[in-house]
Structure 1
Amino acid sequence: MVTRSPVDDLDARLIALLADRPQIGVLGASRELGVARGTVQARLDRLVERGVISSLAPTIDPVAMGFTVTAFCTLAIQQHGGQQPVLDHLASIPQVIEVHTITGDGDLMVRIVARDNTDLQRVIDRVVSTGLVTRTSSVIALAELIGRRTLPLVQAAAEGG
């Protein structure tokens, strides 16, 4: 049985176009791609429905908003209450922009942004303030050399790779 890729060439071209020019709209995309407006709308609906794209919301750059420090914190958490209380606490902190469960020495990897190192200390203090976190280890990112990118992945999926 052959498994169909979640995207084909037209999907990949549409995603790349929207990433490059997010305000193009359905009609503009149909003109640019040389396909019917209904085709573009159907493709977008299908991509959203299948979770390939989550929304057509703007991408927000924390640095442009003054959050120039990025840190990655590994958290070891109390195991008796499960992860949900910790996740609820972390979700209440605006500077926590990602949380992942991980393997290795910790339980969670948390991406935090802050205005400066003093602000970072304040945020980390808030992260550990509940007593649900038993140990932390933090590293500060000095520079982003390759930002979050998914278009090469989209293209590879469209090509069957």
Structure 2
Amino acid sequence: MGDLKEFDQLDRRIIEMLCTSSQGSYRQLAKQLGVHPTTLIQRVKALEDKGVINGYRAKVDYVAMGYDYTGLVQVFSDNIEKVEKEIRDIPEVVAVYDVTGEADAIVVVTCLGRDEFSAVVKRINSLEGVNKTNTSVVLNIVKSSNEFVPPLMNTPNNG
């Protein structure tokens, strides 16, 4: 499944519902969707088999846990693949993105505070192959990736 046209309305509604909240039984979700629970189970299984749904996770509010210091680290490197592999193993690293533009990668780091964040940035800077970093501190989270729901509902399908 790599083409949005492969999704019918029910697939789209299932994905949207699971992105919004995966709590509840299949029976409850099926009732909300207006389908039989067996139909829902089969559809979800098919989406899992095709790799569209690859797990179910809690949406954790890290700020509520005290992880309220987030920064973006642009990484410049002459060996970015090696550097990215090392960066992804740092526990405070939330995401590593290979990007276009001046930087070779953007790293999202979330920490308990400024001192911890500073230590992580210094650790990244000390990695062999890192030529330079440019760091930005997040002042306010307007929308997080935890809130992303793919805009599938108005996409035409094959049928």
**What range is the shorter-chain TM-score in?**
0.7 to 0.9
The code of the aligned residue for 2:12 comes to: A
2:45 corresponds to which residue? 45
Distance 1:98 1:66 in 2: 19
Identity of aligned residues (%): 25
Q: Does residue 24 of structure 1 match 2:43?
A: no
* Runs of 5+ unmatched residues, structure 2: none
CA contact (8 A) 2:83 2:128 kept: no
Aligned residue pairs total 154
Q: Indicate the SS of the match to 1:151.
A: coil
CA contact (8 A) 2:68 2:110 kept: yes
Q: Indicate the SS of the match to 1:94.
A: coil
Q: 1:125 to 1:115 in 2, by over 3 A?
A: same
1:144 corresponds to which residue? 141
Give the RMSD, CA atoms, in angstroms: 2.1
1:131 corresponds to which residue? 128
2:152 corresponds to which residue? 154
Post-superposition Cα deviations, 1:104-147, rounded to whole Å, max 9, x if no partner, equal 11111111111111111011112222222111001111111122
Task: Report the TM-score, using the length of structure 2 for normalisation.
Answer: 0.84
Distance 1:62 1:146 in 2: 14
Distance 1:141 1:4 in 2: 33
Distance 1:141 1:61 in 2: 16
Give, in angstroms, the shift of residue 59 of structure 1.
Answer: 2.1
Task: Report the TM-score, using the length of structure 1 for normalisation.
Answer: 0.83
* Runs of 5+ unmatched residues, structure 1: none
Q: 1:156 to 1:68 in 2, by over 3 A?
A: farther
Post-superposition Cα deviations, 1:82-102, rounded to whole Å, max 9, x if no partner, equal 61x322311221111111111
Distance 1:11 1:150 in 2: 17
1:99 corresponds to which residue? 96
Distance 1:22 1:46 in 2: 17
The code of the aligned residue for 1:141 comes to: V
The code of the aligned residue for 1:115 comes to: L
CA contact (8 A) 1:74 1:137 kept: yes
Distance 2:4 2:17 in 1: 22
Distance 1:6 1:31 in 2: 24
Distance 1:155 1:35 in 2: 17
1:90 corresponds to which residue? 87
CA contact (8 A) 1:18 1:24 kept: no
